[in-house]
Amino acid sequence: MRIAIVAIGRQRPGPLRELERHYASRINWPLTIRELEEKRKLSAAEMKLREADLLLAAIPNNATMIALDAGGKSLSSAEFAKRLDAWRQAGADLAFVIGGAEGLAQPVIEKARFTLSLGAMTWPHLLARGMLLEQLYRAQQILAGHPYHRE
């Protein structure tokens, strides 16, 4: 199973980038992080649609797309690990999609195989990457029977 994180926004040097690097370096599955950016000044609605085009074009061929969205399903870490394991057992490659400050446009959510929520609270889109990477690492450790995860 290969994992891609396709995200709007470039992570600048600092604590959030270090958080990403920390967890990305601990994940054993092949992992790529693709940052996308639209520099033109557009209205919020236009920007959201433009970002949708960028995201959809960047999804690796045949990858199972998982959209991160507040309206998605909230899973416990153990449930997330089980779902990852099922995708892995099915031979799926995964592409996690993270929108920009305005979130994901409906076309992205509609094309996603699964929509995942990181919880009911609102999180900055640049922080969502680090949170997702930590949960991917945690899922890896749960599946390996490692005591990193505590219930």
Which tokens go with 62?
Answer: 């045949």
Q: Which of 109, 128, 107 is nearest to 20 (CA)?
A: 128
| Domains in the chain: boundaries | 3-143
Displacement of CA 147 from its chain's centroid (Å): 24
pLDDT higher than threshold 70 for residue 74: yes
- The average confidence (pLDDT) of the chain is 95
Q: What is the mean pLDDT of residues 107-128?
A: 93
pLDDT higher than threshold 80 for residue 40: yes
| pLDDT given for residue 118 in this prediction | 95
| pLDDT given for residue 125 in this prediction | 83
Binned at pLDDT 50, 70 and 90, residue 90 comes out as very high
| pLDDT given for residue 3 in this prediction | 98
pLDDT higher than threshold 80 for residue 151: no
CA distance 136 to 12: 22
Share of the chain above pLDDT 70, in %: 98
Q: What is the pTM of this model?
A: 0.95
Is residue 34 classed as helix, strand or coil in its secondary structure?
A: strand
Give the CATH superfamily of 3-143. Answer: SPOUT methyltransferase, trefoil knot domain (3.40.1280.10)
Q: What is the mean pLDDT of residues 108-116?
A: 97
Q: Can you point out the beta strands (E) in 25-63?
A: 31-36
Q: Can you point out the beta strands (E) in the chain?
A: 3-8, 31-36, 64-74, 94-98, 114-117
| pLDDT given for residue 123 in this prediction | 85
Residue 124 or 77, more confident: 77
59 with 95: CB under 8 angstroms? yes
pLDDT higher than threshold 70 for residue 149: no
Q: What is the mean pLDDT of residues 135-150?
A: 90
pLDDT higher than threshold 80 for residue 77: yes
Q: What is the mean pLDDT of residues 20-38?
A: 97
